[in-house]
Structure 1
Amino acid sequence: MKLKKLAHLIALIGVASPVLAQQVQQEAPIARVEITGSSIKRVAKEGALPVQVITFDTLQKQGITSAEQLMATISANGTGADNPTSGNNVFGPDADRVSGGASFASLRGLGPNSTLVLINGRRAPTHGKSGKAVDLNSIPMAAIARIEILKDGASAIYGTDAIGGVMNIILKTDYQGAEASAYTNITEAGGGNIHRGSLIVGHGDLNTDGFNVMATASYTKNEKLESRQRDFANGFQPARGLSPDTTGTPFANQLTGANTALGTGFKVPGSTNTYLQANPLSFQGKCDTVQGMSQYQTELWKDVTSPLRSTYSCAYDYGGDYVMQSPSEQANLLLRGTYKLAPDHKMFVEAIGSRSQVVSILTPAQISTSLTANGVNSAYPVGGPYYQDLSSFISTFDRTKPIIYKWRANPAGNRTQENTTESARLLVGFEGTVKDWDYKFGLSKAQSTSHMELLDGYVYTVPFFKLLGTGIVNPWSVDGSQTQAAMDAIEATKYRGAFQTGKTTLTQVDGTVSGELFQLPAGKLAMAAGFDFRRESYLYTQDVAAEPILLSPGNANLPKATRDVKALFAEFIVPVTKDLELQLAVRRDDYSVIGATTNPKVAFRYQPTNWLLLRGSANKGFLAPSFTQLYSGSLDGELSSGVIDTVGCAAHPGDVRFCAPERFGFKSGGNQNLKPETSKQGTLGIVVEPFKGFSASLDWWAINMRDRILNRSASIVLQNPVALSGNIIRNADGTVDYVQAGWINTSGAKTRGIDLGLRGDGKFGDGFKWNATLDGTWTDSYKFAEIPGQPYKEYVGEFFTRDLYLRWKHSATFSVSRGDWNVLVSNNFASGYKDQLPNGGKGTPPAGFDPDVSSYTRFGLATTYKGFKNTSITFGIQNLFDRDPPFTAHNVDDVVGAGWDPRVADPRGRAYTLNLTYKFF
């Protein structure tokens, strides 16, 4: 935007919108601090934007020790798959398959890329493998002083990737003394326990000694929680519309095919239908005699095109075999030294390091054998020791021919990955005041490196399929046992060892000056100006080739890519009248490989009386494509048969080249032609304090985005041949050469809602004090289109395979204290939504099927006692009433969780917490 137009925009909004304010502090002057949302130091209770503050004391009393638990308590955060539990599943083409057990913030549900995470106001490195956002597991939780969440776009203040908001994690500084803390969290039902120990030491008073040095260290261990340890995690509840669609069973189902024992199909007496799979246990009604298996529920899964698939098959509840909490360990270290250079000047050096190790455990691989796949005949041979003869059930069964089958390869073991992420940041900073002008300057270097090792369950495809073709392995073992010779042969086909590595780096130089320029009739004009120069890099490599390894989570290599970002910004606080104040800001970011963008922001507060405040903001945003979206390497693949070229077939009816092609090839990967995502957003709010000790805030917010970047599969491209015609590459004769899948710019998104904040405190009785808080978010609308040109669709309250957009979420606390005692009651609530129908709405729900997933609410109770010398003890109960997650009938192939949804609920159940803190001096 040209500067003249920018000035006109700021002036217009400023004059037309005198409706923003934050309560003005009326007491004597106190120390100024920098508030998230502004670079100008001011009195702490001032500020024009809605900022939620979460203190360390609140986190400790609620027993929150992990990033996943923290984000579940923030109502403005999205309800999505950006946590280790959900991230283990596929979740469609937009999923981040290399997140490696990371946890991300996603304010307003716009995705981790659109939320800026800061540590003490400065950027942290993005996750080593994913490269898309800061892994919150890398934050030293024990060193947190408070967390400030800006629920408004802040591209003009902090940078272009702050469209959804800013999460500023403020760490402890200038600590004196020594303090040790031990914490344990034990579930009542067993499994999923959490333990943490931390130590903080510091020496030196900055004012009297002229220096301070401090260090914190913490270690957290999360134990494994398996689905089989919770009764509600059950994927076979057909009376409620839930049953597995997976026929890759531990006791294999036979498949049909030319020149196989079942031929191209079979019939049963009394029926004219042709069936495609068979299992002797199904014919006998004994599927459930094998653990995890059940009779395939045809009514739930049949549709018009395939009404009888798998009728005589068994199904496998692999969702009920899922690991709901991966075993993990996190270690964090913070070192900080501050030196007073002069009365108003100081220098500090800060080093932050973390190491996170997460073991992701997935169910064994599902495989389908064939007569010719990958150049290998993996069919079970005639005359093999375990040959399964179905002629007593199927008269056309040809025992002279081999068997092909679908099998859950349990003898190969669970697919197990170990993800180790090491992050570090070194910062040298200077802060001070010169003639009433504040300055700060910093030079930092940060990096995050993530490694994945495959520990078990991954086999080389060709050797493994050759082994199956020998008949040594028994795919029809009722108890899953194999001979030692078979187990040794399977072991010989496995790959164990280093698999992939990712690394991000960030080098940054930044500086800001702020102060008061001159006196205006209504007060002094304050301003801040600064710069932010940084170099970002990312690389992703496969330590071994992924293609030969069956179902390995490999991506194409991305050689090291680097870009420079140069930013200049300015901010003004303009007192228009005694009651009206404007915040005007503008920032220009110049990306070396994308281009430059200028983003303005206007915010204002208006306080006509001492009990009423009106506030609002308007701003623009710009989100550059990530390294992965731009540069990830190209992967070649093939679509299965049955996919047609709808455009070509319409033009050439009956031509098999268009209407019945054998296969379609496709390519996927990065797209260097991507445009940035852009946004416009605004807020309008009111704060009232009708009497001392109580305040309420109500803030309306709206965000419009354009050119969203999504990952589209080859199937989606072919289903939208007009809108995505450029992604279907044709030969000279019009036939499809290949389909270009991967990252594209789609249409936009529009979301609106209201944030509610309630605060109260007071005294009663003989020395009792009480405090109450509530932070809630009402999402009125969340609409977007997945394909350019398509109409926007409403998703609030509807099932979706990536994120859920819930109507209402809140987090509330109520505490009472007297003397050395404190009691805290907490509540978290998430509203219900429409459930996924069987087979995406194509199946037949059972009678009485409930199409709604109920709401989910949890209460917590914690008691703290500080009566012992230098000691604080907190005992708590999480999920006080032992509320199970609400039932959902969604397909576990779309969203992980058999009968429950980890995007909404905590599977651990009632848990008891104990935190002991001791101050040595």
Structure 2
Amino acid sequence: MGPRFFREPVSLLVLGAAIAAQGAPVAAQDPPPQVEQTAAASAPETELALNPSPEAGQEVTDTIIVTGSRIPRPNLTAVSPVTVVGYDEVEFQGATMVEELLNRLPQVAPSQGAFISNGSTGTSTVDLRNLGAERTLVLVNGRRLAPGDAFSAEPDINIIPTTLLERVEILTGGASSVYGSDAIAGVVNFIMNTDLDGFRIDGQASVFQHDNRDEAGLGDALDAAGFVHPEGNRVDGGRQSIDLAYGTGFLDDRGHVTLYGGYRKTSELRQDARDYSACTADVEDDLETLRCGGSTVSYPGSFFTRFSLNGPLTIGPDRTFEPGLILFNFAPWNFYQRSGRRWTGGGFADVEISDAFKPYAEVMYMNDRTLAQIAPSGNFQDTRNINCDSPLLSDQQRSLVCFDGNFVGQNPVFDDDGNLVEIRGSPIPFTDPVSGATYFKGNLAVQRRAVETGGRQADIRHKNLRLVGGVKGDPVRGISYDASYVFQRAKSDTTQKNYLSATRLGRALDVVLDPSTGAPVCRSVLTGEDPACVPWDIFALGAVTPESTEYLSIPGSTAGEVKEQIANINATVELGEWGIQIPWADEAPSLNVGAEYRKDNLDYVPDEVTQSGDLAGAPMDPEVHGSTSVKELFAEARIPILTDRLVRRLAIEAGYRMSWYKAGDSSFSTSSYKVALDLTAVDGVRLRLSQQRAVRAPNIIELFSPTAEDAFFIDPCAGLSPDATVQECELTGLPASLYGQVLEVPPLGFFAYNSKIGGNLDLYEETARTRAAGLVLEPRFLPNFNATVDWWQIRLEDAVAKVDGDTIMGNCIGTGDPAFCERIHRDAEGSLWLSEEGFIDARNFNIGSIKIQGIDVGVNYRHDLGRIGTASLEFTGSYLDKFVIDNGGTSTPFDCAGHHGYGCFEPVPKWRHIARLTWEGRQGITVSASWRYTSKLTFRAYPDFDPIPPPEVPDQSFFDLATIFRVEPHYSLRLGVNNIFDREPPLVLFCNDATCNGNTFPQWYDPLGRYFFAGFTLNF
């Protein structure tokens, strides 16, 4: 960053605040709030609020709503495991992104975020228990947060303003009976501080610092490959943020309004800034020596012909081909941290007209832009032949591409020693559309990076708006109601830059001599098909011209909009006000009933080149339109049964929701429920048990993605001597009369069997049974101490999945399961490739199950140190016992717990924890240290494949330190460093998971070294 960083306005504000604080008197004040867990709260409940939380077991006077229930209660009690994180943790971590606040929690599997570049949606999402962000329900003030992107259909938590974040409540397990679809893994509820009084300014600046000391051991590999080897100290990756908020009362404090606005800037950082990510890590045959890998789509190129007996070719001097495979190092191009800017603004207002009529409103807006960059585009075998009379080829090159000058793309036969025996078939002639002359094409598959264009970039922009309007009140004694309407809209626009056109690549390599000038010219220029075409001369070093690069480069774009509308009305009845109460309890039963209507609309429109797949190095991206709606009725009850009779307290809870879904012309209904027991046997010992049925309806993308053509490669029932038996082939829809008569895909060319992929309106809901059993301990002999232990289990059935054509074929023949066999459609000839009637239906469908279970542990202790202040210890840990995936016959069930790699999608560590020790001085100084730990990971290889076994990913510990200086009455300064020992992230080989970047899992570990931050808060 250098001096430029200190010219940023937020940096100047931070430095000015720090200077102003020097010499200022530090007045005594009440100790700031810290991590606190009430024994009444669910495990592990860590309370970090702007106002001090109640002492363990102490009840607050106002009733509150706890995530997982709509029934108000006098304390933070819940029957499902809930973790509560408050604003203090934002200060201690120096977090400017909400994702950073959540990713440290053991229950959260980090997913989309700032350290993802390849495949980034530009969003930040929450994934509880590794079940996928689509199975985590996100709420704001108890109301659903809509999808934040038309591409992924998952909530984007970037819209959450950290400056007004009061606390986050994370509930583990299903909560569909209370909130509806998507709460399979759990619920994340962002509670905003809507009662701010006065004016607040909050600013922060931060940087990463790392000493490139070659701890990972990639230095020799970088030197051997001739790649840049970063060394020494680096300070980079700066972030700055400034947030403003104002709150005031009106109408004699019967109303209140809170307004906010904020800006955040993040600087880009590339992988070659760190020695452990400066190239793709691989190992030599000895399984120990590290080497630099890379892509075979390289510069100056990798060329493959059917007649080259020595493997791939590359460009040599004097326009020649020479044997060799060059691997391309994409690290200098790929972003480790994306650059970005984000603006947020909005407000919260409420007013009490009367006890029965209390209207409220919420407005939240976000406008953000981020830039993701990966390696340059190129020719990814988008062209696989070339005319043999091309003037771009030298005689030496032509002799290798066009065997005997004529035989092109045929099927050579070799003996056991690799010698060419014969060539089957006959030459394939082509007719020149201009001259009418016959010419031949040679087989030449090109893999060449267009480094002249620069890196491929995705310029991603979002504009998200959330509007809430409602009214609540207490119209009669014992009855309260809440009626609301929520409108949410997310617009996304992405521009793909520096891509090559696959169509233009073919034209730019189809070059002949211009009969009028004798110069090389595109054939399409002479025919008039494309007068702008410029030859792409990749057959000599340095021969590519800027004009050809400009011709080949085309942008792509996508525009999407997702909208959600929710109308909800619910009422709570306190039956005690009506004389209804079990005589053995000192609390009365409560009942909540309600109805909800929700509608989602999605429009996703890529431009023509993006839809067609013409962007080289980018997948085909179809247009998506659709809408879904659901009508729901729900009820929930809490019934206290005993108080101080045999046991200290006993209560039960139950809930039920009925849902009617509609998607296009399809419809289905489903239900969810919960039952729970809350037992306090004696003071200080509380037991909670719960079982719930949760559901997730398929989202719009899973339903409405249009059907697209795809391919698979094995039909064991084709050919004169099929590999499968008559009986097995009958399972695939082949009549016995056609056995041995089905034409195979020919060995020449690039034919394949037909497959169709995309959305499926026949999808139905996923279901999950979640169980939890917890114990809360608050011993009287140890004041201000509490501990919680919770066992939990989630069993997901009928999971929506994508299964490829080869897997469907193999499972049909192997098992005869109709779920697979009914997806094979043969034409009248029994073929799966000759006509459109022959194909495998590989669209989304409900298949398989996931079973996970584990134990969460929470410990909190606060101790008065007398005149020197107080000390507190908070610990939250999670042990994963099982993560068993059963793909419905597509593979043998396997356990991902403790693994990463094939089938596990992301890292699945067995144990994670965060521990925090805090000292609060009497003079307004707070010092807090934390320890973050993730257990080791082993690699899970592809079935029937024995790769070089990579080493284990060792367990990881990171330590942080933060200090807050609170100056009475309105000023505080915070300084901190995360990863104080500059520990590098673990080097991960075979790192192909979705969250992998730079040879590691950067969302899981600290990828860039130490993180220094300095911030201030002013309150007026």
| TM-score, normalization by structure 1 | 0.84
Distance 1:850 1:102 in 2: 31
What is the alpha-carbon distance in structure 2 between the residues aligned to residue 765 and residue 387 of structure 1? 91
Shift of 1:173: 0.7
What letter is aligned with 2:78? G
SS of match in other structure, 2:909: coil
CA–CA distance in 2 between the matches of 1:30 and 1:381? 89
Among 32, 47, 60, the alignment partner of 2:78 is 47
For residues 20 and 555 of structure 1, what CA distance do their matches in structure 2 show? Answer: 43
Q: Deviations over 1:58-86 (max 9, x none)?
A: 1122111213312311211125x433544
Shift of 1:513: 2.2
- Give secondary structure in 2 for the equivalent of 1:203: strand
Shift in Å at residue 117 of structure 1? 0.4
Pairing of 1:497-646 with structure 2 (within 5 A): 498-517=557-576, 518-520=580-582, 521-523=584-586, 524-546=588-610, 547=612, 548-578=614-644, 579-593=649-663, 594-639=667-712, 643-646=713-716
> For 2:859, which of 737, 746, 758 is the aligned residue?
758
* Residue equivalent to 2:916: 813
Residue pair 1:378, 1:467 contacting (<8 A) in 2 also: no
Determine the structure 1 residue equivalent to 2:421: none
User: What are the Cα deviations for residues 757-808 of structure 1, in whole angstroms up to 9, with x where unaligned?
Assistant: 1111111152311122121111100011224474421111122252222101
Provide the C-alpha distance between the structure 1 equivalents of 2:540 and 2:679, rounded to a whole number of angstroms. 75
Partner Cα distance (1:713, 1:216) in 2: 48
Structure 2 CA distance for partners of 1:40 and 1:477, relative to 1, 3 Å: farther
How far 1:493 moved relative to its partner? 2.9
Q: 1:186: Cα distance to partner?
A: 0.7
Q: Which amino acid aligns with 1:504?
A: K
Letter in 2 for 1:686: L
Shift of 1:31: 1.2
| Counterpart mapping for 1:665-684 below 5 A | 665-684=754-773
1:449 aligns with 2:491: yes
Q: CA deviation at 1:633?
A: 0.8
Change in Cα spacing, 1:187 to 1:841, as seen in structure 2 (3 Å) is farther
Within the alignment, does 1:342 sit opposite 2:354 as a pair?
Answer: yes
* 1:547-579 superposed Cα distances (whole Å, 9 cap, x missing partner): 133333442222242423333223233324542
1:727 aligned to 2:831?
A: no
2:973 aligned residue? 873
In structure 1, the partner of 2:299 is 250
CA-CA distance at 1:148 after TM superposition? 0.7
Matched, 1:686 2:790: no
Contact 1:813/1:827, CA 8 A, preserved across alignment: yes
Instruction: Please say if 1:137 is aligned against 2:137.
Output: no
The CA distance in 1 between the partners of 2:58 and 2:167, in whole Å, is: 24
Matched residue of 1:759: which SS? strand
Shift of 1:872: 0.8
Residues 366/449 of structure 1: CA separation in 2 closer, same or farther (3 Å cut) = same
1:216: which partner in 2?
Answer: 260
SS of residue matched to 1:384: coil
SS in 1 for 2:618: coil
Aligned partner of residue 204 in structure 1, secondary structure? strand
1:104 matches 2:177: no
Q: 1:197 to 1:634 in 2, by over 3 A?
A: same
Q: CA deviation at 1:438?
A: 2.9
Q: Distance in 1 between matches of 2:993 and 2:393?
A: 34
Alignment partner of 2:935 out of 812, 831, 838: 831
SS at structure 2 position matched to 1:625? coil
Which has the larger displacement, 68-77 or 552-561? 552-561
3-state DSSP class of the match of 2:550? helix
Change in Cα spacing, 1:21 to 1:797, as seen in structure 2 (3 Å) is: closer
Residues 55-134 of structure 1: matches in 2 within 5 Å? 55-79=86-110, 81-83=111-113, 85-86=115-116, 88-89=118-119, 100-130=121-151, 132-134=153-155
Q: In the TM superposition, what is the alpha-carbon distance from 1:380 to its structure 2 partner? A: 9.0
Report deviation, 1:603.
1.3
Higher relative contact order (CA 8 A, sep 6+): 1
Question: Which piece of structure 1 moves more, 598-607 or 894-903?
Answer: 894-903
Please say if residues 264 and 342 of structure 2, whose CA atoms lie closer than 8 Å, have aligned partners that are also in contact: yes
Distance change (3 Å), C-alpha of 1:439 and 1:359: same
1:241-264 residue CA offsets vs partner (Å, 9 max, x unmatched): 66536311112122113xxxxxx2
8 Å Cα contact 1:155/1:587 also seen in 2: yes
**Within 1, Cα distance between the matches of 2:121 and 2:841?**
27
Deviations 1:674-718 (A, max 9, x none): 121111110001111231121111100011111110122334434
Which sections of structure 1, spanning at least 5 residues, go unmatched? 1-18, 90-98, 258-263, 267-274, 288-309
Deviation at 1:126, TM superposition (A): 0.9
Cα distance between partner residues in 1 of 2:1005 and 2:386: 42
Structure 1 residue 181: Cα displacement: 0.9
Partner amino acid, structure 1, of 2:634: L
Q: Please say which structure displays the higher CA radius of gyration.
A: 2
Q: How does 1:847-858 map to 2 (within 5 A)?
A: 851-858=951-958
Question: After the TM superposition, which of the residue ranges 356-365 and 721-730 deviates more from structure 2?
Answer: 721-730
Q: How many Å separate the matches in 2 of 1:525 and 1:62?
A: 41
Q: How far is 1:191 from its partner?
A: 3.3
Deviation at 1:833, TM superposition (A): 0.8
The structure-2 alpha-carbon separation of the partners of 1:190 and 1:840, relative to structure 1 and needing over 3 Å to count, comes to: farther
Q: Find 2:446's aligned residue among 399, 405, 408.
A: 405
**Range 861-870 or range 613-622, more displaced:** 861-870
> What amino acid sits opposite 2:589 in the alignment?
L
Question: What displacement does 1:426 show?
Answer: 1.3
Partner secondary structure for residue 703 of structure 2:
helix
What are the Cα deviations for residues 173-212 of structure 1, in whole angstroms up to 9, with x where unaligned? 1221001111111111333221111000112167x43221
1:292 maps to none
Deviation per CA, 1:395-442: give whole Å up to 9, x if none. 999899786532122223322111211111111122233424332221
C-alpha displacement of 1:539: 2.0
Contact 2:770 / 2:792 at 8 angstroms: preserved in 1?
yes
CA RMSD of aligned residues (A): 3.2
Cα contact 2:930–2:960 (8 A) shared by 1: yes
CA distance in structure 2 between the partners assigned to 1:316 and 1:410 by the alignment: 10
Q: Which piece of structure 1 moves more, 154-163 or 319-328?
A: 319-328
Q: 1:199 to 1:255 in 2, by over 3 A?
A: same
Match of 2:843 among 742, 756, 778: 742
Distance 1:874 1:428, change over 3 A: same
Count of matched residue positions in the alignment of Structure 1 and Structure 2: 833
Corresponding residue for 2:896?
795
1:476 Cα shift?
6.4
Superposed CA deviations along residues 308-339 of structure 1, whole A, max 9, x for unmatched, are xx994122233564211111222111212221
Does 1:911 pair with 2:1011? yes
Is the CA contact (8 Å cut-off) linking 1:820 and 1:866 kept in structure 2? yes
Inter-CA distance 27–223: structure 2 relative to 1 (3 Å threshold) = closer
What is the aligned counterpart of 1:657 among 743, 755, 772? 743
